[in-house]
Chains A and B, each alone.
Chain A
Amino acid sequence: MEQFFDVTIILLQGFWTNILIFALTLLISIPLGLVVTFGSMSKFKPLAYLSKILVWIVRGTPLMLQIFIIYYIPGFLGIPASSQLTSVIIAFAVNYAFYFSEIYRGGIEGVPKGQYEAGMVLGMTKPQIFKNIILLQVAKKIVPSMSNEVITLVKDTSLASVIGLTEIIKSSTQLMSSPGILYPLFYSGIFFLVFNGIVTLGLNKIEKKFSYYN
């Protein structure tokens, strides 16, 4: 029983890293995604193409590989990455920003043209139209797709172990090494389930909040 308590503490320490990656990734990637969307929807063609190529590269390669690249390449260029956590968060934030950007783009393109025209008739400028009319409708539309990605993100955080960051899966392999017990690996699943349960409740609340214009 005492051992179970110790195991729980060690797994919790590991899971804290997962939570940190999760929170910081969302914090960075949600606004960063919008920047990418503006890029790929830009009327300035070279920028639009560049954004689309970047979307292709980031979505087309495994996140695990991107973590390796972001962590190891700087070292070959002469400035070694100082922190595994920072590298992981950069990789995650960029990866998710590009996924989010496509969700945003779908949402923005889904708003009927008439909405823009109505704004113009009222004498609003383009940024005003975007801020006051379009954005809220987009936000409402994309919540279900975003929720899906957010829940995937919770589980993806375990990928951080590939460069040796001690997140919960790594913590449980540590416990396999000494005292050589296996159950923490399966037990770690409970942590993800509970956390995702909380996240799902939060997402449901957000979805309800956005149930305007119904």
Chain B
Amino acid sequence: MKKSVISFVLVIGMVFTMALGMTGCGGEEVSDWDYIVEKGTLIVGYDNAFAPMGFVDLETKKDVGFDLDLAMAVGEKLGIEIVLKPITWTTKELELKSKTIDLIWNGYTITPERENMVDFTIPYMQNQQVVVINKKNAEKYTTFESMKGAKTMAQAGSTAMGAIASNEFMKDNDLKTLDQNPLILKELQFGYVDVAVMDYVVVNYLLAQTENGIAEDLMIVEGLELASEEYGIGARKDSDTTEKINEALLELKEDGTLAEIAKKWGLEDLCLV
């Protein structure tokens, strides 16, 4: 008994000293890119439920998507091994900060608030927030004015929430959020909510799918201008990694690889680089 007690105390003591020791060595100055090169892998964090940027392919059972293809191409250009790591979208900046990933790369919209937390590369894709409604309400909701007081929905932690908050008619609406865009579309279809604000890239993809049974019931309200936005790739604050990625993106544009990838996912009209 005595022996196990002593060893237990020792183990606890070791854990504490280790924890203290770790806090001690956070101060050395190594540039972010050097850290990544030394580690040998560039870890790309992405949401694996975000078609067409990153999602699971039914046939191969592997994650595929525009952003994943682009990340692999950039890795090849930079001569570094890319590790694709699925993350939860709500804690993406925390992942970056705690170095469990090196880049946030998945339809990541550039916003001033996010610029305080991460360093962005050059924008590589254009996106727009669009309003989606049930076709039943096609007559009812045609302008922002008509959407005043409507039950509204957006993805939690997305830029759509900001777009709603800055719209003079929709800002006071009853706003409900969910993590999953497809669930939001289902709520629209069921009539739980009246309008949803979402990434054009995502809605466009989902409405083009036939198997999910939402395409025939839902529609994008045409001609409503909500904040136009741009996707960038997020690195840690004050990182030199962004420069490397920018160079690689420009090179990929030069040799036509970027256009090829965009074409594969039907996004060629939205490319910015």
Contacts and interface: CB of A to CB of B under 8 A. Distances in A.
A9 B61 contact: yes
Interface residues of A, number: 47
B98 A81 contact: yes
Interface stretch (B51-59, B118-126, B136-144, B163-171): B51-59
Interface stretch (A133-141, A173-181, A191-199, A204-212): A173-181
Given A3-B211, A42-B5, A182-B186, A171 B22 contact: no
Interface string B156-181: 00000000000000000000000111
A47 B209 contact: no
Interface SS of chain A: helix
Contact of B180 (A42, A44, A127, A173): A173
Contact of B181 (A38, A177, A181): A177
B273 interface: no
Contact of B212 (A71, A73, A165, A180): A180
Interface string A113-131: 0000000000000110000
Contacts of A81: 98, 100
Residue among A13, A76, A81, A164 facing the most chain B CB atoms (10 A cut-off)? A164
A175 to B, nearest CB: 7
A40 to B, nearest CB: 11
Contacts of B22: 74, 77-79
Instruction: Describe B's contact surface by its main secondary structure.
Output: mixed
Given A76-B97, A78-B25, A10 B56 contact: yes
Contacts of B12: 50
A178 B205 contact: yes
B249 to A, nearest CB: 25
A179 B5 contact: no
A107 interface: no
A14 B59 CA distance: 15
A163 B209 CA distance: 29
Contacts, number: 128
B226 interface: no
A179 B100 contact: no
Contact of A179 (B58, B87, B95, B183): B58
Contacts of A47: 5, 8-9
Contacts of A30: none
B17 interface: no
Nearest to B19: A77
B99 A80 contact: yes
B54 to A, nearest CB: 9
Interface string B1-38: 10011001100100000010011011000000000000
Interface in B202-239: 205-206, 209, 211-212, 214
A84 B52 CA distance: 24
Contacts of A7: 58
Nearest to A46: B9
A135 B98 CA distance: 43
Contact of B97 (A75, A162, A170): A75
A35 interface: yes
Contact of A180 (B1, B56, B100, B209): B209
B12 to A, nearest CB: 7
5 contacts: A75-B99, A166-B86, A173-B179, A180-B51, A182-B212
Given A47-B9, A80-B99, A180-B206, 4 more contacts: A9-B61, A71-B100, A77-B19, A126-B1
Interface of B: 1, 4-5, 8-9, 12, 19, 22-23, 25-26, 45, 48-52, 55-56, 58-59, 61, 85-88, 91, 94-95, 97-100, 179-183, 185-186, 205-206, 209, 211-212, 214
Interface of A: 3, 6-7, 9-10, 13, 35, 38-39, 42, 44, 47, 50, 68, 71-82, 84, 126-127, 161-166, 170-171, 173-182
